[in-house]
Structure 1
């Protein structure tokens, strides 16, 4: 891997300890970067960290670390309770991210659910902008992850990120996590000739250079524009291998970490996906 190459890694389980379990699994599958949960991804509990485990992660500067915020987070929810819990949960992830030396906290862009788009985006401005202001200079970036387009989502196509960046005043701690399965399911045909370049160019044109901070590399079980978020192993789905090679070699993606969130609990399928991406990267 050269200095301009993208490190390839995975979302890792943390049984046995955030660092102990996560780094052990990373070594087993050949991951060069990792993503972790620091709270139950399907709950609102905000657990404290373990200083010894935190220090182990901070000490591994050779392994870039990212946090994925819990799935329940929704800045666009009409429920005051859900909105309040969402802000508290992301604040917790950002604080924990600084403790473990994480480079970014990934958060789904959310859904308006039963309210209007404008009402939901007003909430984004009123509640997320102050959250960004709390992040210290050495704290992790907040990385917005567009969704697959289902259920009144606020952001699916990369162009939908424009209003988010406008409402959040292009804050310097704001970045983007680009998920290949989400983009494909939202209607970006990554398999078409020039499809990857067109999509990435549109992303950069929308949010500006330097805002793309992380790639979630996932194949898709479903067809383009399906609005279904079902990940598949690299090369085994509707996207196939070639678009991942195109993405890895796009100039705007140079050096940006790739994280797989593909099926399989045992090391074998994840190790295979990482090996595939490394082969495509190094070809």
Structure 2
């Protein structure tokens, strides 16, 4: 069976995210390692890093970081590109200190320069990040998008082409978000739509490249090019879409993280985790 968890807040210290994922019964954690709304956020203190590592050892499950939404790794503007690279380098440094397994990153937007130019810029900037970090670094997982505006990643081949263009392809992988895929036009709620998505993965980045799922239902219709998450089974995807994914033997042991609304705190996460486990036949 897949491993189920959630994105948890690091308010009050990153070690609190580990505490909270254990409290709700999660098996995998995603978090922001710093304030994702700032370009130069404060890094976790030495004491918080130590507490995180101690709790993480007891937790035992995989841990992923989500890079800041401010980062546009496909930006070709000199100053903006340098700013994005610097922010991702700092993210890698924090994740290395914490022992995080991988960083999730949106592939960015080409801002009118064209898809091909955006893909090459993203690969170039990613290479610079790995070149600067050197040595042992977390993996970098490129997340698919709903394809809004000039964003890359609506088509899964965008991710494949970024990986292929990078000198560090062996350190790159894919995070597949169900709501984003649905918004981009993959009808995951149907057998044919699910099959098409899996074929695009297989003949694009490759099934082995998928290392993490964001499991989210969608408030908006298939192909809307919009990104609006809701609780599992309560949106346009519906429970049948998740039954199909959660019971696909190809992804039997994959980590799957909720990014669903938290309007009632941890209670919503507990409900969504229970729904996932029920749909997976646990």
TM-score (ref. length: structure 2):
0.92
Contact 2:102/2:141 (CA < 8 Å) preserved in 1? yes
Aligned partners of 1:196 and 1:29: how far apart in 2? 30
Gaps of 5+ in 2: none
Q: How does 1:162-181 map to 2 (within 5 A)?
A: 162-169=160-167, 171-181=169-179
What residue in structure 1 maps to residue 277 of structure 2?
Answer: 278
Which piece of structure 1 moves more, 139-148 or 182-191?
139-148
Candidates 37, 40, 44, aligned match of 1:45: 40
Q: Are residues 1:104 and 2:102 paired?
A: yes
Aligned partners of 1:198 and 1:150: how far apart in 2? 20
Please tell me the root mean square deviation across aligned C-alpha atoms, in Å: 1.9
Displacement after TM superposition at 1:154 (Å): 1.8
Aligned partners of 2:203 and 2:218: how far apart in 1? 25
What residue in structure 1 maps to residue 7 of structure 2?
Answer: 11
What residue in structure 2 maps to residue 27 of structure 1?
Answer: 22
Displacement after TM superposition at 1:252 (Å): 2.5
Q: Secondary structure at the match of 2:208?
A: coil
Which piece of structure 1 moves more, 234-243 or 168-177?
168-177
What residue in structure 1 maps to residue 213 of structure 2?
Answer: 215
How many aligned residue pairs are there? Answer: 278
Candidates 240, 243, 249, aligned match of 2:241: 243
Q: Secondary structure at the match of 2:274?
A: helix
Displacement after TM superposition at 1:276 (Å): 0.8
Displacement after TM superposition at 1:278 (Å): 1.6
Contact 1:161/1:207 (CA < 8 Å) preserved in 2? yes
Which piece of structure 1 moves more, 47-56 or 240-249?
47-56
Q: How does 1:52-201 map to 2 (within 5 A)?
A: 52-59=47-54, 60-61=56-57, 62-134=60-132, 138-169=136-167, 171-201=169-199
Aligned partners of 2:274 and 2:202: how far apart in 1? 28
Contact 2:85/2:128 (CA < 8 Å) preserved in 1? no
Aligned partners of 2:91 and 2:99: how far apart in 1? 12
Aligned partners of 2:4 and 2:231: how far apart in 1? 14
Contact 1:113/1:152 (CA < 8 Å) preserved in 2? yes
Contact 1:132/1:142 (CA < 8 Å) preserved in 2? no
Deviations 1:86-122 (A, max 9, x none): 1111111111111111111000011111322233223
TM-score (ref. length: structure 1):
0.91
Aligned partners of 2:76 and 2:64: how far apart in 1? 29
Deviations 1:179-215 (A, max 9, x none): 0000000000001124324312321321124211110
Displacement after TM superposition at 1:25 (Å): 2.0
Which piece of structure 1 moves more, 69-78 or 49-58?
49-58
